[in-house]
């Protein structure tokens, strides 16, 4: 894989972890680089980025201390999503809140313009990217 793209993936991970980049900023940069999707594993503290040709790149991310709850709460995930969208919280608090809601990971489909949050038993919550404002 192109080293410029892997450097961008790592910069996006670090930027999120250090709360210097918002989700929309990360999404735009990854789309511009041709990234198809990425998977965030909250238990393993890592993200895997995927290109359309099947190439992938794994990068560690900041560990969250909150263990994911056993039961999944789609409402809890949705509440955390709305809080970060309104900028009431930042990324690390968001990760803590979705873990409290039983989320163990999420897949961001850049091509599908959605995020799928899921729990231990396969329960899930889907969030479509907000429409761009004119």
| Structural domain contains residue 130 | no
- Give how many domains the chain has, as a whole number: 1
| Structural domain contains residue 134 | no
Mean pLDDT by 10 residues, the chain (134 residues): 96 97 95 97 97 97 95 98 96 97 98 96 94 53
pLDDT of res. 134? 43
What is the domain range of residue 115?
Answer: 3-123
| Structural domain contains residue 132 | no
Distance of alpha carbon 66 from alpha carbon 100, whole angstroms:
7
User: Residue for token digits 């041709």?
Assistant: 34
CATH of the domain at 34: 3.30.1810.10
CB atoms within 10 A of CB 75: 10
| Structural domain contains residue 42 | yes
Sheet with 46-50: strands ordered across: 56-60, 46-50, 37-41, 103-109, 114-119, 124-128
pLDDT of res. 1? 85
| Structural domain contains residue 76 | yes
Q: What is the DSSP letter of 1?
A: -
User: pTM for the full model?
Assistant: 0.93
**How many Cα atoms are found within 13 Å in the side-chain-facing hemisphere of 128?**
3
pLDDT of res. 3? 95
| Structural domain contains residue 133 | no
User: Residue for token digits 């990234």?
Assistant: 35
């Amino acid at each position: 894989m192109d080293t410029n793209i892997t450097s961008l993936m790592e910069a996006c991970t670090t930027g999120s972890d250090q709360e210097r980049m918002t989700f929309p900023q990360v999404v735009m940069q990854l789309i511009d680089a041709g990234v198809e999707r990425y998977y965030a594993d909250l238990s393993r503290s890592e993200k895997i980025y995927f290109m359309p040709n099947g190439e992938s790149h794994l990068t560690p991310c900041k560990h969250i201390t909150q263990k994911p709850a056993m039961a999944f709460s789609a409402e809890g995930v949705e509440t955390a999503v709305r809080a970060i969208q309104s900028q009431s919280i930042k990324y690390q608090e968001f990760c803590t809140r979705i873990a409290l809601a039983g989320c163990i990971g999420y897949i961001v489909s850049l091509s599908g313009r959605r995020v799928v949050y899921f729990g231990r038993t396969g329960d899930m919550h889907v969030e479509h990217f907000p429409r761009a404002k004119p």
